[in-house]
Chain A
């Protein structure tokens, strides 16, 4: 804990809390990303496919995040919508080496963006073009083209290439998200 956090704790100041949905196809690396963002003593070594969802927490310099890490397997995707109302922001993870399923990812994204609980809300979306370390991985530009991200007009979005196993590219994304949320509130 930094000095400021301690001070804030003493003074009874609490960090602003924000709920984030972490979505994306199975095996894209959602759980691995969230795990990296958690304080090192809370990280697990053992990441298995998520069944249903799990709630994880981590903090940044100014925010306290509660993440709903959803399962990406086909048969659980229709359960995402139960939690849409909950989210103030979305992290959408894409396995950039999985060219074959890029269309599936796009379809899920479109369904998500058209859902009544999401459609008219100005919530920031952070995309991780994950697994950039793999040789056959597409660039983040290519991924954003394939997903037609430029069509998203009413929501701030941002895409980062990342390697969740090493933790690369994550901080940049989270910093962007934090800024967005702060400006959103004020």
Chain B
């Protein structure tokens, strides 16, 4: 009935799909014929197909209409047409979560699963398990147990796989089927054995001891099914990793012994497991690599592919092992299967010497246009890795990449290239102009809005600082004339940056802005008007604040504050300083090329961790009136890992207070803790205002208590303090079996580790994309400078790392990266000090005996400057 589509038609998307223009309402109308007697199986089948098609296209079915269609479908159980019945099973599964009362088919399905028709039994089990919830499971338990050990393999497999799905929902019930699963695991059928092993593993996977017993049993007794063997290998290597088992473990021996299995599948799985293991020695690796090497010259394409793909993946980790296969890989360069060839070449690129780069690149150019996008991305990734290894090769690569950019290709592919070019530009300043030129050429004809805006942003950031900024203007302005709204808006922002930094370009930029103010789109016009007004002031500070360095506040926070402001209107203008800052600064364009599968378009803005804390704390009455949450620290552990009570602390900083949130877990199943609080003794003039205890802390359910502390007002530079902490609580002993607590309790306490508050807790990271402009904007009213010797530090890298983590500030202009072979470096740090004032640090480092550091600090406020110098000194 379902026509076999012509592949070509499918690709070109021409109208050969008979379901293409289905209307949900029309299909549901047609579904009325399910109610007619006698049933016409052929027509009903066709309509069910349409319904399933619509569901799979993501069409939304309302509950009422879905339920109606579902009940109409249940009548089709009258018919004994096999195809129709099986289509009903599929429909049931698809509609299980959108129709009401789907349990109506339970008896019909149990009848089919226990009936005489073997073709019905497996699918009926699968459908039945989809509509069964925990409460109904008991009713079918008996049938499930029987089905698991049924002698018909498809029935047994269906029952095992369905049980596996139900483990998530009703672990305790399914656990009672272990004996049946055990019996199925000794089945002669390879699929049944595999599925049984899968179920057994999932029932036990949280119990390491049980898993290891199971492995022990099966590795001794041996299995028939190669699939089951592959699974055992995976389980074993996971267990090895979790237990950090050494390679003298019997598990490793087992995996290694599988290298000699008679099934290639098993051999491959074992080899792959070994090369993926962390810290393998060359000797342990050798047998696995030689297996892969052997597979490289197998006549079976699947084996060659598997081998070379695995080698490709581990090329960076075990270069020497992979180099051993270089000869075989060379042979695969010309493999008729382009996927294999691509992987071989990119593997060689990753491990090969600098001298072979040109040859390999030439080879791959010869067929790059013939391979699929997915593999083109692999090529780009290899190039990216190569550029990091051999920076001198960047011109060859850049050339190659620009050619690739000109070819046809989908979004992922183009994005990978653009990211790679951007990363090359960032790593190699002398490639900047060529790279920007290629990107300019690319956006002249680029259909991907995301990429065009990204490149425009980059041009705005980098272009004005090149020797000849004027040449980019034309490319940018072309966008304003030719593209969609989003791109036009990005182009306007980029133009403004040129006007702000290049005085000689300003007049022409103003003329272009004027033109943009007549744009048909609101956003474009608004931006143009805004920039026009800022630029006309010709003030460096304004340019810095409003053109180069954008907003640093949290967007959800801003939305909330503005909403609050409109609810309580006041004479006072809205103060940006009351808005919480963004916790993770909008990063500079970073270029980690993510694997294709995980890379997605930017998601909807999700609230950050701090936005969530802000909300949680605001709900506690004692913390009202503290103002906006300024910063939340990473959790600090105050107990060792395996103790009776586990406590960690999150430090929340507000304008004049700190709130310490203690997340506590009670790991004793014979105790209920009540009125839990953490008493704090400060070393400095910090004042503990209030404790908010956790009322109950039952076994293994985490709970939080809080301490509210006022910061010393008379000495604002006293930013660091050590607190000794003691947890105090009432213990009520519990019966470990029933969990019933005693009526009486007794007070007890538990000493925790000391908690440090440091300067970093008072500073929030903020990224200034143009540090120089920000520096000028803040001005030198409160500038202070001092020089220090960091005698214990040996390298510039180390010094830079220490300073950043000590001050908790955001490195700008990529100054956290120290170029190789340099003996001086300048680190630029930006942040906001508690209270909302910008704080900038320029630190010149010179390597002599130790490292000497000259620190210059600027802020709009003196305290912040003093705090920094006081804490560094």
Query: Which residues on A are within 8 Å of B, measured CB to CB?
Result: 17, 19, 48-55, 66, 69, 71, 76, 79, 82-83, 85-86
Contact = CB atoms under 8 A, between A and B. Distances in A.
Given A51-B136, A55-B78, A66-B78, A19 B37 contact: yes
Contacts of A19: 37, 78
A52 B107 CA distance: 6
B313 interface: no
A86 B75 contact: yes
B304 to A, nearest CB: 53
Given A17-B38, A51-B136, A82 B71 contact: yes
A51 B107 contact: yes
A55 B37 contact: no
Contact of B139 (A51, A55, A66): A51
B83 interface: no
A54 B108 contact: yes
A86 B104 contact: no
Contacts of B640: none
A48 B35 CA distance: 28
A85 B75 CA distance: 11
22 contacts: A17-B37, A19-B37, A19-B78, A48-B139, A50-B107, A51-B107, A51-B110, A51-B136, A52-B103, A52-B107, A53-B104, A54-B77, A54-B107, A54-B108, A55-B78, A55-B108, A66-B78, A71-B107, A76-B104, A79-B104, A83-B75, A85-B35
A52 B108 contact: yes
Nearest to A52: B104
A61 B110 CA distance: 30
Nearest to B72: A82
Interface in B49-84: 71, 74-75, 77-78
B430 interface: no
Contacts of B111: 54
Nearest to A83: B75
B105 interface: yes
A15 B518 CA distance: 81
Given A17-B37, A79-B101, A86-B35, A51 B106 contact: yes
B35 A52 contact: no
Contact of A53 (B38, B108, B136, B139): B108
Interface in B79-108: 101, 103-108
Contacts of B103: 51-52
A55 B103 CA distance: 15
B77 to A, nearest CB: 5
Interface string B720-732: 0000000000000
A82 B105 CA distance: 13
A186 B827 CA distance: 101
Interface residues of B, number: 19
Contacts of B75: 83, 86
A69 B78 CA distance: 12
A71 B35 CA distance: 20
A154 to B, nearest CB: 24
A53 B108 CA distance: 6
B37 A53 contact: no
A52 B101 CA distance: 9
A55 B78 CA distance: 6
Contact of A55 (B77, B101, B136): B77
Interface of B: 35, 37-38, 71, 74-75, 77-78, 101, 103-108, 110-111, 136, 139
A86 B77 CA distance: 13
A136 B176 CA distance: 40
Nearest to B115: A44
A42 to B, nearest CB: 9
A50 B78 CA distance: 17
A43 to B, nearest CB: 12
A79 B78 CA distance: 17
Contacts of A76: 104
A91 to B, nearest CB: 17
Given A17-B38, A85-B35, A52 B78 contact: no
Given A82-B71, A86-B75, A52 B106 contact: yes
Contact of B107 (A53, A83, A86): A53
A76 B108 CA distance: 14
Given A19-B78, A69-B107, 8 more contacts: A17-B38, A52-B104, A52-B107, A53-B74, A54-B111, A55-B78, A82-B71, A82-B104
B38, B106, B139 pick with most chain A CB within 10 angstroms: B106
Contacts of B74: 53, 82
Contacts of B105: 52-53
A85 B36 CA distance: 10
Contacts of A71: 107
B140 to A, nearest CB: 9
A48 B111 CA distance: 11
Contacts of B37: 17, 19, 86
A76 B100 CA distance: 12
Contacts of A49: 139
Considering the complex of A and B, which 8 residue pairs feature the smallest CB-CB distances, nearest first? A52-B104, A51-B106, A54-B107, A82-B71, A50-B107, A52-B106, A55-B77, A51-B107
Contacts of A17: 37-38
A101 to B, nearest CB: 22
Contacts of A83: 75
A53 B77 CA distance: 10
A141 B74 CA distance: 37
B224 to A, nearest CB: 33
A50 B104 CA distance: 10
A168 to B, nearest CB: 26
A17, A54, A83 pick with most chain B CB within 10 angstroms: A54
Contacts of B106: 51-52
A114 B313 CA distance: 72
Contacts of A69: 107
Contacts of B136: 51
Contacts of B38: 17
Contacts of A50: 107
A52, A53, A69, A85 pick with most chain B CB within 10 angstroms: A52
A76 B103 CA distance: 9
Nearest to B109: A52
A92 B513 CA distance: 84
B74, B78, B107, B111 pick with most chain A CB within 10 angstroms: B107
A50 to B, nearest CB: 5
Contacts of B77: 54-55
B38 to A, nearest CB: 7
A82 B38 CA distance: 18
A8 B162 CA distance: 45
B328 to A, nearest CB: 61
B70 to A, nearest CB: 10
A185 to B, nearest CB: 14
A83 B104 CA distance: 11
Nearest to B71: A82
B450 to A, nearest CB: 50
A118 to B, nearest CB: 16
A51 B77 CA distance: 15
Contacts of B139: 48-49, 51
B631 to A, nearest CB: 54
Contacts of B71: 82
Nearest to A19: B37
A119 B79 CA distance: 28
A86 B111 CA distance: 21
B80 to A, nearest CB: 9
A79 B139 CA distance: 19
A73 to B, nearest CB: 11
A113 to B, nearest CB: 22
Contacts of B107: 50-54, 69, 71
A11 B103 CA distance: 41
A117 B272 CA distance: 65
A23 to B, nearest CB: 14
A34 to B, nearest CB: 12
A55 B37 CA distance: 14
A66 B71 CA distance: 17
